[in-house]
Amino acid sequence: MSDGSFPAADASEDDLDMLEAQLGRRPTGVLKVEVYCPAGHPQVIRYYPLTVGEQGEALSPFPTLFWLTCPSLIRQVSEFESYGWIGKIEERIQADSDFRAEYHENHRAYGLERWAALLPAHQETVIEKGWENVYRNTGIGGIREWDFVKCLHLQYAHHAGAANVVGRFLQEQFSLQPCMPPESPVG
C-alpha cells in the first residue's frame, strides 16, 4: 500500500510468501527485505515502525525496525540466549567502556532512524497521541535501559541490516551461518 498513508514497500509478493512460510503468518508493515540469505530467502526485514490500520490510521507504536526471519539464524541465536549470553553481554557492556559507548550509539542511531522512517503525517499523529518518547528516546526494539539487552534476535537483525556491536560480537564469536543453497528457500 502506498496511498500516502503508508510508505511504498519494496517487498515482492514472492518475498511475502516466503516470509509467511518462515513466520507462520503473513506479516504486515514490511517495507523491504533488508538482507537475503545465500539460499535466496529473506534473512532480515525492515518494518514500518508504526502499526497502521486498513484506513491508514495509526494504531500503536511498533518500535522494531529490523526483524530476523532466517530460521537457521533464529535457531542459532535462540540457542545462545538459552545459554545465558544476554547476561554475559550485559556484563561486557558494564565492564568495557568502548563496547558500552558503541552500544549506546547503536541505540541512539536506531531511535533517529526509527523517527525518520515515519511519514510526516504519522510523526504528527505520534506526537498528538503522546508516543513521541517511544520513538525518540528508546533504543533498539524500544528498549529504555541502554545498558541492557532485550533480545539477541533484535541485536543480530540490526547488525545484519545496519550496524550493531552486539550482533557483530555474536558473529565474530560464533560465526553464525545463514541457510545455504540447496536448503529450503524458507530455511
CA distance 54 to 112: 26
Residue 5 has pLDDT above 80, yes or no: no
pTM: 0.90
Neighbours of 81 (CB within 10 A): 14
Smallest CA-to-CA distance from 61 within 122, 145, 131 is with: 131
**Spatial contact of 9 and 15, defined as CB atoms under 8 Å apart:** no
Pairing state of beta strands 66-68 and 42-47? Answer: antiparallel
Confidence of residue 3 (pLDDT cuts 50, 70, 90): very low
Which grid cell is 62? 511498533
What are the extents of the domains in the chain?
Answer: 13-174
CA distance 43 to 187: 9
Query: 66 - beta bridge partners?
Result: 46
pLDDT tens digits, residue range 168-182?
999 999 999 988 776
Burial of 172: CB neighbours in 10 Å, binned 0-12, 13-18, 19+: exposed
CA distance 117 to 122: 10
> Which pLDDT does position 186 carry in this prediction?
53
> Which pLDDT does position 2 carry in this prediction?
42
Q: What are phi and psi of 185, to 5 degrees?
A: -65, -10
